[in-house]
Structure 1
Amino acid sequence: MTTCQPLPKLWLLSDERNDAVLEQAIARLPRRSAFVYRHYHLDMAKRQARFAALRDLARRHDHTVILAGSPVLARKWLADGVYGPASAMPRDNALLKIVTAHNWPEIVAAERAEADAIMLSPVFPTASHPGGRSLGPVRFRLLARKTAIPVIALGGMTKDTAKRLDWPRWAAIDGLS
């Protein structure tokens, strides 16, 4: 891992639907949580401006700040790391690498990309993919335990589902907003 800090346990992801409450959500997170900025819906200038404001707020609360995008952009925008598929990960260790995965082949790809963590989803049914198939707790655990890389549970996660899953690291969009 590229940072001296331990990997955060709680991860807030941004989305168009939680944008209006992100400042409050970031401030409510326990110190040393993580914030993943996605905001794919904005044009580049607006996306960068919104990222800078939220990055600065997150840093005031000692949160790790991750950008969904290219490693070049993550470095330019002063993010702590990059979020995305294994194929988009940098080959150097200058950034924290959070790799998305939904199945075993994507977990293997994350291992090959030397990910610092894998965000495995969707654990439960989620508003992001209504009607989509979720892993469920059993399949999630089977996949997550097959890798030595830390796994972050995503998809339908709330304080209640996190307690039910009993997994050390989890992430949410609506569940933390």
Structure 2
Amino acid sequence: MVKLYGQKRSISAALAIGRAAGVPHLVFLTDEGRAPDPVGVCQHLPAGSIIICRDYDHPDRVGFAEKLRAVTRTLSQFLLVAGDPGLARAVDADGLHLPQYMLENPPALTAFGLVSAACHDHASLVRAAQLGLDFALVSPVFETASHVGEPALGVHRFARLVKNASIPVVALGGIHAGNAAKLKPFQLMGVAAIGAFIPNV
């Protein structure tokens, strides 16, 4: 009963962030350094969440992606593999996530049901829309523990960047329960996070 209570509480905490931001989707990006138990994070996110398998330097990235594929399928979540279409196909992922640099010369995308891209500026947002991608992760909105000391967009610059975007936008970077409501006016597709979704039970 204690474990079940903890799981429900963590799911409620993740949903609270989504509700505060007024978004329908939650996106978790794997990061072995900050979230060493990504399967545990997935288990504390609701069905329909999108999991992006990053960890490009993982010593067993194939096995890592296979493990994520198994848990996301069980939990009715979507799995995207970042930067490796071959691996995405090999583990039967739901789609592919493109780092920004791959937007200039993207791989064939027709094999993937869901494709996203990391976008840090207006030009990349335009390019992602031209390619017909499903959504763009725009970051960093707030200062983030993943890139300590690097400047964040801030709410006002983020607003200008996404105002006329012709592609659904997911906000990423330093989002948590205390600042998620600042994103509600932008009618985003979702919010993405690492630390904010790690269960604290």
TM-score (norm: length of structure 2):
0.77
| Counterpart-to-counterpart distance in 1, 2:117 and 2:52 | 12
Report the CA distance shift for 1:63/1:89 in structure 2 as closer, same or farther (over 3 A). Answer: farther
Alignment of 1:34-53 (within 5 A): 34-43=50-59, 46-53=60-67
Name the counterpart of 1:14. 30
Count of aligned pairs between the two proteins: 169
**Over residues 50-88 of structure 1, what are the superposed CA-to-partner deviations in whole Å (9 max), with x where a residue is unaligned?**
111121111111111000122232112211111122235
Report the CA distance shift for 1:55/1:88 in structure 2 as closer, same or farther (over 3 A). Answer: farther
C-alpha deviation, 1:128, in angstroms: 1.3
Q: Work out the percentage of aligned pairs sharing the same amino acid.
A: 33
1:78 is aligned to 2:97: no
**Over residues 3-62 of structure 1, what are the superposed CA-to-partner deviations in whole Å (9 max), with x where a residue is unaligned?**
xxxx9610000012234231221011111111001012213xx11101111211111111
Q: Which range moves more in the overlay, 70-79 or 28-37?
A: 70-79
**Over residues 102-145 of structure 1, what are the superposed CA-to-partner deviations in whole Å (9 max), with x where a residue is unaligned?**
01111112112221100000000011111111111121122112
Give the 3-state SS of the residue equivalent to 2:145 in structure 1. Answer: coil
Work out whether residues 137 and 172 of structure 2, in 8 Å CA contact, stay in contact via their aligned partners in 1. Answer: yes
Q: Mind listing any 5+ residue stretches in structure 1 that lack a counterpart?
A: 1-6
C-alpha deviation, 1:155, in angstroms: 0.6
Name the counterpart of 1:23. 39
Work out whether residues 139 and 153 of structure 2, in 8 Å CA contact, stay in contact via their aligned partners in 1. Answer: yes
> Once superposed, what is the RMSD of the aligned Cα atoms?
1.8
Name the counterpart of 1:4. none
Give the 3-state SS of the residue equivalent to 1:147 in structure 2. Answer: coil
TM-score (norm: length of structure 1):
0.87
Which runs of 4 or more aligned residues in structure 1 lie more than 6 Å from their structure 2 counterparts after TM superposition? none
Report the CA distance shift for 1:131/1:139 in structure 2 as closer, same or farther (over 3 A). Answer: same
2:150 alignment partner AA:
G
| Counterpart-to-counterpart distance in 2, 1:92 and 1:147 | 21
Greater gyration radius:
2
Match of residue 140, structure 1, among 154, 158, 167: 158
| Counterpart-to-counterpart distance in 1, 2:159 and 2:108 | 28
